[in-house]
Amino acid sequence: MKAKIKINNKKIKVDLSKPLDISIPLENKKGALAWYVDNPIIEPVISGDFIGSVAKGASTNFNKITFYPHANATHTECVGHITKEFYSINKTLKTFFFLSELISITPEKLNSDFVITKQQLENAIQDHNIDALIIRTLPNTKDKLNQNYSNTNPPYLLEEAAIYLREIGIKHLLIDLPSVDKEKDDGKLVSHKAFWNFNDTLRLDATITEFIYVTNKIKDGLYLLNLNIASIENNASLSKPVLYRLL
């Protein structure tokens, strides 16, 4: 189904029948993982003699799911992730379609780390009339779907890069890493804070989505982004970002 949409005073055409899912699903006892916790567990509810499994005699499959939004699968977070005050992603994310650009970046070596710099972003971003930026890091392999990042010091954004994105008006940042910040930074979270303008007027309508996976078949360029979240009153929610090619 082809549709005409106006976003940021720009008329675009998309084919809604060809969605490009860039999320990593929540799966039982496997999947992408970070922050020194366990994989999700999806198991039948047990109550007395009742076991919520058709295979075990129940009329329905009735499961309990235990997971960590920030550590298991694709999730979208708001500034409430780093504030004393409670902010819910379900309240702060109020619209769900955005003009976005997908870029691919090979993180640069900086001492013992690999980082994404301001200059790399300046060179890669082609259109500044966008609300959302999607960063695919290279090399890009299917290992990202099941990688355990705990204690691996994965690549991250430098503070200067996060400031730059804020200054050019990016409200929604999506990345295929477990965090925009260094894994062990003594709780500084400089890139989270820079992107959300933590030390000034908080950007309550800005979000960060981590743990995405963008296949190599999806080319860099402009897309319509549909950023879907579950209606959970928490600073972060499992999410399902979906791209649509522009016609």
* Average pLDDT over every residue of 119-130: 95
pLDDT of 172 above 90: yes
Contacts of 53 (CB under 8 A, 6+ apart): 44, 61, 62
User: If we measure between CA atoms, which residue out of 184, 32, 191, 212 comes closest to residue 112?
Assistant: 184
Question: Is 241 domain-assigned?
Answer: yes
Number of domains in the chain: 1
* Average pLDDT over every residue of 118-137: 96
Question: Is 53 domain-assigned?
Answer: no
From CA 202, how far away is CA 223, in angstroms rounded? 27
pLDDT tens digits for 35-92?
Answer: 999 999 999 999 999 999 999 999 999 999 999 999 999 999 999 999 999 999 999 9
pLDDT for 5 equals 84
Question: Is 214 domain-assigned?
Answer: yes
Question: Is 44 domain-assigned?
Answer: no
From CA 57, how far away is CA 61, in angstroms rounded? 10
**Would you state the structure tokens that stand for residue 232, as one six-digit string?**
């959970």
pLDDT for 222 equals 96
Query: How many residues can be counted in the chain?
Result: 247
How high is the mean pLDDT of the chain? 96
Q: Are 27 and 140 in contact (CB under 8 A)?
A: no
pLDDT for 51 equals 97
How sure is the predictor about 3, in pLDDT bands with cuts at 50, 70 and 90? confident
Q: What is the DSSP code string of 91-139?
A: HH----EEEEEEEEE-PEEETTEEEE-HHHHHHH---SS-SEEEEEESS
* pTM for the predicted model, two decimal places: 0.96
Question: Is 201 domain-assigned?
Answer: yes
Question: Is 55 domain-assigned?
Answer: no
For tokens 């047990």, what's the residue? 46
pLDDT for 41 equals 98
Question: Is 61 domain-assigned?
Answer: no
How sure is the predictor about 10, in pLDDT bands with cuts at 50, 70 and 90? confident
pLDDT for 226 equals 98
Q: What is the CATH number of the domain that holds 86?
A: 3.50.30.50
Q: Are 234 and 93 in contact (CB under 8 A)?
A: no
For residue 176, report the phi and psi dihedrals to the nearest 5 degrees.
-95, 30
Question: Is 59 domain-assigned?
Answer: no
Structural domain for 159, as ranges: 2-25+71-245
User: If we measure between CA atoms, which residue out of 216, 194, 242, 71 comes closest to residue 140?
Assistant: 216
For tokens 């933590």, what's the residue? 198
Q: Is 199 exposed, middle or buried (0-12, 13-18, 19+ CB in 10 A)?
A: exposed
Q: Are 179 and 157 in contact (CB under 8 A)?
A: no
From CA 107, how far away is CA 96, in angstroms rounded? 29
How sure is the predictor about 127, in pLDDT bands with cuts at 50, 70 and 90? confident
How sure is the predictor about 188, in pLDDT bands with cuts at 50, 70 and 90? very high
User: If we measure between CA atoms, which residue out of 199, 214, 207, 203 comes closest to residue 237?
Assistant: 207
